[in-house]
Homo-oligomer: A and B are copies of this chain.
Amino acid sequence: MALTGILRTGLVQLRVLDFEESLVHYRDRLGLSVVGKIGEDRIMLKSFDEFDHHSLVLRRADSPGLDFFCFKSLDKQTIDNIAKKSKEEYGYPVDVMTGHPGFGEITFVTVPTGHKIGFYWEVELAAVHPMLVNPHPWDKEPHGMGVACLDHALLCGPNQGETVRWFTDCVGMSITEYISTPEGDGHICTWLSGNTRGHDVAILSYPEPGKIHHLSFQLQSWDEIGRAADIMGRYNISVDAGPMRHGITRGQTIYFFDPSGNRNETYAGGYEYFPDHPTRQWSADHVGEGIFYYSKELNERFLSVLT
């Protein structure tokens, strides 16, 4: 009973062009901490309020983008069920990665949008994690923007509808909101939650497979959004849009770019979702308001720049 199965976004691997400038961005500005290296081409990081070994891997590569996106699960049974059903009923490729530092087996399903979605349940407690005995809210004051944890991602690719069906039917998530196509024959974009967040993942219909629109990091308040914006302003981080509110999920947000061109989001607020809540529906002509609640107009970059 209570929260079962899939818990939350827990591990993401992003491609970046350069380590030095990426560390300035993710460590010094967003406020993550470096956990260590994997070989020569990967760096592990985590946020101050996460318990698990690490949550973000930056891999040095020739082009930016997403390698994989994983959910922490409560138990092995959940993952076995997803793997079996994905293979047998959906016919999706399933493979298992072992040996990722600090993590047990990670089971990957390649979904029709072209993304590798992973699931794991065994992971070591991080060396530095929130206090447990007579705990202070934080032990060492968060630095930079002080992001608390990974929050969600917006993934883009073809076959949006199929992938959404898999997320609901096979992974057990709920559709919290969606934007209908103008013809009303499907969704342009669908928001999915497996906990009480407005979304753990959103799936946008897009011709190219395996793309990521943004990876989102959690902040605690509109005020922290404002402080994050000040840090972006101070250090000339390229801001795409915001500070603003989304109509969809009600989240308070800034979109900005890492030095490699990956879009990040700092995200706060948003409603507390429960699976008995009705699904919220958006018509295609309200998409501007749904994403950019204040200006009500998408900027061009928002729709065209993906990695």
- Counting CB contacts under 8 A, is A245 at the interface? yes
Residue among B230, B269, B278 making CB contact with A132, cutoff 8 Å: B278
Task: Tell me if B51 and A277 are in contact (CB < 8 A).
Answer: yes
- Counting CB contacts under 8 A, is A80 at the interface? no
Q: Which of A133, A196, A280, A286 has the most CB of B within 10 A?
A: A196
Residue of B nearest to A173 (CB): B2
Task: Tell me if A132 and B294 are in contact (CB < 8 A).
Answer: no
Task: Tell me if A275 and B136 are in contact (CB < 8 A).
Answer: no
A229: shortest Cβ distance to chain B, in Å? 5
Interface size range of chain A in the complex: 35 or more
Residue numbers in B under 8 Å from A218 (CB-CB): 272
Residue numbers in B under 8 Å from A232 (CB-CB): 294
Residue of B nearest to A279 (CB): B132
Complex interface bits, A196-219 against B, C-beta within 8 A gives 1, otherwise 0: 110000000000000000000010
A202-254, CB < 8 A from B: 218, 220-223, 226, 229-234, 236, 239, 242-245, 247, 250, 252, 254
Task: Tell me if B196 and A3 are in contact (CB < 8 A).
Answer: yes
- Counting CB contacts under 8 A, is A290 at the interface? yes
Task: Tell me if B221 and A137 are in contact (CB < 8 A).
Answer: no
Copies of the protein in its oligomer: 4
Residue numbers in B under 8 Å from A130 (CB-CB): 271
Cα A294 to Cα B229 with chains together (Å): 6
Complex interface bits, A261-299 against B, C-beta within 8 A gives 1, otherwise 0: 000000001011011111111110010011001111000
Task: Tell me if B1 and A293 are in contact (CB < 8 A).
Answer: no
Residue numbers in B under 8 Å from A296 (CB-CB): 233, 236, 239
Task: Tell me if A136 and B233 are in contact (CB < 8 A).
Answer: yes
User: Would A136 and B278 be within 8 Å (CB), given that A5-B2, A172-B2, A245-B229 are in contact?
Assistant: no
Cα A223 to Cα B245 with chains together (Å): 13
Task: Tell me if A233 and B221 are in contact (CB < 8 A).
Answer: no
A8: shortest Cβ distance to chain B, in Å? 6
Task: Tell me if A1 and B6 are in contact (CB < 8 A).
Answer: yes
